[in-house]
Chains A and B, each alone.
Chain A
Amino acid sequence: MKSIFALVDCNNFYVSCERVFNPRLEPLAVVVLSNNDGCVIARSEEAKQLGIGMGAAFFKVREKIEKNKVEVLSSNYALYKDMSDRLMETLCNFTPEIEVYSIDEAFLNLAGLSNNLTGYCRKIAETVKQWTGIPVSIGIAETKTLAKMAQRIVRRFSKAAGVFELTGRASIDEALAQTSVENIWGVGIKTAIKLKRAGINTALALRDVDVNWMRQCFGVTGVRTVYELRGISCYELEEQPPTKKGITVSRTFGRKIEEIYELKEAIASYASRAGEKLREQGLAAGAETIFVMTSRFVDARKRYFNSHTVSFPTATSYTPELIDGAIRSVERLYRKGFLFNKAGVILSDLVPEGSVQRNLFDESDRQKSRRLMGAVDAVNTRLHRRALTWAAEGINQPWRTKFVRRSKRYTTRWDELAEVG
């Protein structure tokens, strides 16, 4: 059966999540800031209308924000991730075929589920709004590229949630004519510039190009986009998330780090968090990469980036081993005189814990270390995440990422539930 794609996209997702638990924000202009409150990463419609740009550095728009009494929040990823899970779970009630495309977007295949697609999608949008409180807009079409375009049109014409079905020759032609090539799903900025140079400015013009020419200039990906615009589906749903190749924990520090002992603390703490993530998924890592860097915006002589990888003879999820490897790497990577502002731990060569190949000379008691980790994780789940920590992580952690204006983690912490009077 021919697929029918619906792209479900949350409106101003981070802001919408905040509003669910703090209705006072509903009529106000709201922005959410990135880690360390660096730049604007989400804006309510009201904030967009004030001309606050996506990605704007906070210090640059600060005056405008204060003058217009815009509500400013640090990002609350624990909340956004949980709300995203709820959204996806809700969508699963409407179709067995779903691709989680990003934290706030999903493609659905609706083939054979309804003969009134617009009505069906209105029901989806209403249900998502009621169950989770998040408003969504939905674009429907015969290919993913056209569905994405339909969703863009909804967003442009109604600032509120809505549904748009892009089917029928006439309305597709009109939509394509109004869409500029750089706004087509899958067309990057470089491709868009090349297309424009060749006189192809709109999606309509791109749909009608000669396919052989397209293949020569842009390869098979370009051809696929052309076919998708013609209503011939080339991209099916990717329902299985690609198997995890690595687990990354990286942060920008709350302030610059100059001393090696602080860098070691930070890295040890990220390694410990990476270990938790690893065990949550029942995996063990064969290799551990550490990277450290200074800000990219400083003078070239003060800029430094470097990384180092250690491999484990036996794949491990034992935090002391991860921390030990991480600290050895930091000793090699650290350079005196640089101001570090970010570092990270990447665990790779992941294997299921149960099928770890033991090294012939490995004499450590793996059973015992597994039990120890199990106990540590159990305590931290029960109390709070940092109830039990490793001494190497430091106590005061002055380098810790700052979330000064973060709202409460309403859905993931017992002690931070929303309060009702």
Chain B
Amino acid sequence: MKTRVEIVYRPDRSTKRRQPIFTARVPAGFPSPAADYEEGKLDLNKHLIRNPAATFFVRVTGDSMVKAGIHDGDMLVVDRSIEPRDKNVVIAAINGELTVKRIRMRKNKLTLEAENENYRSQEIDEEMEFEVWGVVTNVIHEL
């Protein structure tokens, strides 16, 4: 039987992280009481970005997604490697423009829904130039 390698994983060196180094001198044999509790630092990059190669940041203009907690001027974290599913908030390329909307996938029907009563949802027909650009994973909102 042949063994096949499906995917080769590689350590992610995308962010720099300061690793605490312990150089506690222990002349009399008392170990540092904190040494056992060292867990490394929290890295927001790692928390927000699962796949650095496929992750992009974009800036929101307008208020069409306000009820989804996405405001004018917010920054979105977009992962292109995620397969879009029904109800995901996505970036879509539609007729040459990038837009952020909630995607609905129902029986042969694709709809882009805004989260604001003042905007109508848009049904995608075959005439349109349409592509899901990426799936929004996080909103970064400055207070």
Contacts and interface: CB of A to CB of B under 8 A. Distances in A.
Contacts of A417: 57-59, 75
Given A26-B129, A419-B98, A113 B60 contact: no
Interface of B: 2, 4-5, 7-10, 51-54, 56-62, 64, 75-76, 80-81, 91, 93, 96-100, 129, 131, 133
B54 A132 contact: yes
A90 B54 contact: yes
B56 to A, nearest CB: 7
Contacts of B52: 86, 89
18 contacts: A27-B129, A90-B53, A90-B54, A93-B7, A113-B8, A115-B4, A130-B81, A132-B53, A417-B58, A417-B59, A417-B75, A418-B56, A419-B58, A419-B59, A420-B58, A421-B98, A421-B99, A421-B100
Given A23-B93, A26-B129, A419 B61 contact: yes
A332 interface: no
A254 interface: no
A72 B133 CA distance: 24
B98 A23 contact: yes
A112 interface: yes
A334 interface: no
Contacts of A421: 61-62, 64, 97-100
Contacts of B54: 86, 90, 130-132
Interface string A21-55: 10111110000000000000000000000000000
A132 B80 contact: yes
A82 to B, nearest CB: 10
Nearest to B57: A417
What is the size category of the interface that chain A forms with chain B? Answer: 20 to 34
Contacts of A89: 52-53
A23 B75 CA distance: 20
Given A23-B93, A93-B10, A420-B100, 17 more contacts: A23-B131, A26-B96, A92-B8, A96-B8, A130-B80, A130-B81, A411-B57, A417-B58, A417-B75, A418-B98, A419-B60, A420-B58, A420-B59, A420-B76, A420-B98, A421-B97, A421-B100
A95 interface: yes
Nearest to A24: B96
A94 interface: yes
Given A89-B52, A90-B54, A418-B98, A96 B10 contact: yes
Enumerate the 4 nearest inter-chain pairs by beta-carbon distance, A residue then B residue, closest first: A24-B96, A131-B54, A23-B93, A89-B53
Given A420-B58, A420-B61, A94 B96 contact: no
Contacts of B91: 420
A93 B52 CA distance: 12
Contacts of B133: 23, 133
Nearest to A28: B96
A91 B61 CA distance: 33
Contacts of A410: 56
Nearest to B76: A420
A114 interface: yes
Contact of A131 (B9, B81, B100): B81
Contacts of B10: 92-93, 96
Interface string A377-405: 00000000000000000000000000000
Interface of A: 21, 23-27, 86-87, 89-90, 92-96, 112-115, 127, 130-133, 410-411, 417-421
A95 B7 CA distance: 8
Nearest to B8: A96
B119 to A, nearest CB: 10
A131 B56 contact: no
Contact of B7 (A94, A132, A420): A94
B97 to A, nearest CB: 7
A83 to B, nearest CB: 10
Contacts of A21: 98
A120 to B, nearest CB: 10
Contacts of B80: 130-133
B4 A24 contact: no
B133 to A, nearest CB: 8
A11 to B, nearest CB: 17
A24 B97 contact: yes
A71 B28 CA distance: 74
A146 to B, nearest CB: 24
B118 to A, nearest CB: 13
A125 to B, nearest CB: 15
Contacts of A114: 4
Contacts of B4: 113-115
B140 to A, nearest CB: 11
A368 B138 CA distance: 41
A127 B7 CA distance: 12
Nearest to A21: B98
Contacts of A132: 53-54, 80
A418 B81 contact: no
Contacts of B98: 21, 23, 418-421
A114 B4 CA distance: 6
A190 B45 CA distance: 51
